[in-house]
Amino acid sequence: MFKIINPSNIFLIATKAINHLTYLFIVLIFLGLLYSLFISPVDYIQGHSVRIMYVHVPSSWISIGCFAFIGLASIINFIYKNKNFSLFGKSLAPLGLMFAIISIVTGALWGQPTWGTWWAWDARLTSMLVLGIFYLSYILSWKFISDFSLSSKVSSIIAIVGLINLPVIKYSVDWWATLHQTSTIKIVSNSTIHFSMMLPLMVMFFALLTFSGLIFLMKYKTEIIKMNNKGLDRL
């Protein structure tokens, strides 16, 4: 059923795609930084500190998206017992944790001039911190449990339980009165962010998304090599 995404096929695709993604990332990050730092307007209230948004928001989206994918892969792994989905999650987790940390740090840098404090136990901030803890728990389960089947099972349970936190992150600003502003970018209704800020935000998002794909493929190739060396190549 999953022959099309077996490690051999993805390994070959990854080898060919890495160079293309590298060139694409260089172009997108150049344009993103150009728009974000020099072309996008200064916010009339927040001033230049609003430029932190162009890293903070994409990092938050990617971190949440990575965990959603890990959780979905874990559910499929539980149903079909396919090790390849464990490798997907294992390869994505460090990347997701990195972006969760970037999101929290840039949020603190943005919050200090905006709210007057580096940290508050705000619902959105706290739920992002919880996401980071789930990421760390997932990664540590792979690190300290030597048996592949057991570590795959434990990490999958952590990821599936962690999925509960994702809607909390998404709707925390709607469910509770928080310091964090409500969502300005919406899919089913009109966004309130101006196009002059929306454009650099989306360019930076696709730049960091391309970077994520690049790092994921590199990490996945490494995991395949390690798995083959351990004789676990039968998926």
**pLDDT, tens digit only, all 235 positions of the chain:** 555 566 666 777 777 888 899 999 999 999 999 999 999 888 777 778 889 999 999 999 999 999 999 999 999 998 888 888 999 999 999 999 999 999 999 988 887 887 777 777 888 889 999 999 999 999 999 999 989 999 999 999 999 999 999 999 988 777 766 666 666 665 555 666 778 889 999 999 999 999 999 999 999 988 888 877 766 555 4
23 part of a folded domain: yes
Is residue 75 within 8 Å of residue 160, measured between CB atoms? Answer: yes
Q: What is the pLDDT of residue 8?
A: 66
- Please tell me the pTM assigned to this model: 0.88
- Residue (of 190, 180, 189) closest to 57 by Cα position: 180
235 part of a folded domain: no
Range of the domain at 169: 3-229
153 part of a folded domain: yes
Backbone CA torsion sign across 182, 183, 184, 190:
negative
Residue 110 CB: number of other CB atoms within 10 A? 19
Q: What is the pLDDT of residue 92?
A: 96
138 part of a folded domain: yes
Q: What is the pLDDT of residue 179?
A: 60
234 part of a folded domain: no
193 part of a folded domain: yes
143 part of a folded domain: yes
Indicate the number of domains in the chain: 1
Is residue 18 within 8 Å of residue 218, measured between CB atoms? Answer: yes
194 part of a folded domain: yes
Query: Residue 56 has which token pair?
Result: 């903070």
